[in-house]
């Protein structure tokens, strides 16, 4: 069974500074990888996804992530954060094309300070 680990439960960062959220997964088969953002009392919004091809994927709101198969990682980055990026971020994995379920990491709370 696959698992997803988000190494940082909370990341404080100053406005306009860069941020990196770490995500590692464990799976012996091919996976689809996702990053979602959740604002307070809301559902999840897809930031970006890796399915195949280029290991660097760009998403909405200036976020990007890099898939590293050898390190089984999918870290999320943004070069300059805004106050509005304060939210909870979830990494998720879905196993292969036949898989149905998303397995989520524990989440990372990003708090952007002015």
Partner 1 sequence: GAVVSQHPSWVICKSGTSVKIECRSLDFQATTMFWYRQFPKQSLMLMATSNEGSKATYEQGVEKDKFLINHASLTLSTLTVTSAHPEDSSFYICSARDRGGRQYEQYFGPGTRLTVT
Applying CB under 8 A, the residues found at the interface with partner 1 are 32, 36, 41-46, 49, 51, 90, 94, 97, 100-107, 109
Q: Are 35 and 90 in contact (CB under 8 A)?
A: yes
Residue 57, both tokens: 């994927």
Q: Which is nearer to partner 1, 28 or 41 (CB)?
A: 41
Q: Which is nearer to partner 1, 42 or 55 (CB)?
A: 42
Q: Using DSSP, state whether 13 is helix, strand or coil.
A: strand
What is the smallest separation between the CB atom of 78 and partner 1, expressed in angstroms?
21
- Tokens 């300070």: give the residue: 113
Q: Which is nearer to partner 1, 49 or 77 (CB)?
A: 49
What is the smallest separation between the CB atom of 85 and partner 1, expressed in angstroms?
18
Q: Using DSSP, state whether 63 is helix, strand or coil.
A: coil
What is the smallest separation between the CB atom of 3 and partner 1, expressed in angstroms?
11
Q: Which is nearer to partner 1, 66 or 88 (CB)?
A: 88
Q: How far is Cα of residue 45 from the mean position of the Cα atoms in its chain?
A: 11
What is the smallest separation between the CB atom of 35 and partner 1, expressed in angstroms?
13
Task: Write the burial class of residue 85 (CB in 10 Å: 0-12 exposed, 13-18 middle, 19+ buried).
Answer: buried
- Tokens 């106050």: give the residue: 83
């Amino acid at each position: 069974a696959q698992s997803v680990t988000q190494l940082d439960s909370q990341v404080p960062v100053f406005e306009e500074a860069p941020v990196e959220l770490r995500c590692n997964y464990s799976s012996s088969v091919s996976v689809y990888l996702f990053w979602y953002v959740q604002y307070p009392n809301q559902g999840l919004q897809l930031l970006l996804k890796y399915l195949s091809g280029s290991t660097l994927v760009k998403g909405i709101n200036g976020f990007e992530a890099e898939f590293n198969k050898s390190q089984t990682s999918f870290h999320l980055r943004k070069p300059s954060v805004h106050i509005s990026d304060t939210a909870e971020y979830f990494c998720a994995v879905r196993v292969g094309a036949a898989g149905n379920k998303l397995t989520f990491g524990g989440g990372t709370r990003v708090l952007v300070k002015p």
